[in-house]
Amino acid sequence: MEVLQVVGFALVVTVILVVLRHQRPDMAVMLSLAAAAVILFFLVERIWQAIDLLQDLASRAGVRDSYVQILLRVMAIAYLAELGSQVCRDAGEGAMATKVEMAGKLLILILAIPIVRALADAILAAIPLATR
């Protein structure tokens, strides 16, 4: 099972990190980043499968490709911002972690504007205008 491999790898790295943080905190941050990259690389194939499935479902439902692309970008920003904030926290930089999270949220908000606009247009088109 893939999850057992990921968890096993993470546990081994965690034990090494606990020992390394006392002797070389700078190297511990680098190891944490490298471990995150290895786990992400391990999951790349599964991520592409999920993206293909979402695109297939969206095309079957008649959802525009631009909306699917926005959704995928939002998901990528959310995961990367979470990863970045956790690495900052691991390095003892809680304030920087908060800034990374805020930047991720703002970028998601900016990406969502076309969807919000389309939703507002659809609602306004459905509401009959009162005549004077």
Q: In three state form, how does the secondary structure of 2-38 look?
A: HHHHHHHHHHHHHHHHHHHHHHCHHHHHHHHHHHHHH
Q: How far is CA 130 from CA 55, 124, 127, in A?
A: 40, 12, 9
Does 55 map to a domain?
no
Number of domains the chain is built from:
2
**Structural domain of 124:** 64-132
Question: What is the pLDDT confidence band of residue 132, given thresholds at 50, 70 and 90?
Answer: very low
Q: How far is CA 41 from CA 46, 79, 106, 111, in A?
A: 10, 14, 27, 26
Does 51 map to a domain?
no
Question: What is the pLDDT confidence band of residue 129, given thresholds at 50, 70 and 90?
Answer: low
Contact 6/38 with Cβ under 8 angstroms? no
Q: What is the pLDDT of residues 78-104, one digit of tens each?
A: 999 999 999 899 888 999 999 999 999
Contact 87/36 with Cβ under 8 angstroms? yes
Does 118 map to a domain?
yes
117 and 76 within one domain: yes
Q: What is the pLDDT of residues 15-50, one digit of tens each?
A: 999 999 889 888 988 998 899 999 989 999 999 999
Question: What is the pLDDT confidence band of residue 131, given thresholds at 50, 70 and 90?
Answer: very low
Does 17 map to a domain?
yes
Contacts of 46 (CB under 8 A, 6+ apart): 2
Rounded distance, CA 104 to CA 119, Å? Answer: 23
Does 59 map to a domain?
no
Rounded distance, CA 85 to CA 132, Å? Answer: 54
When comparing pLDDT for 33 and 132, which is higher?
Answer: 33
Does 98 map to a domain?
yes
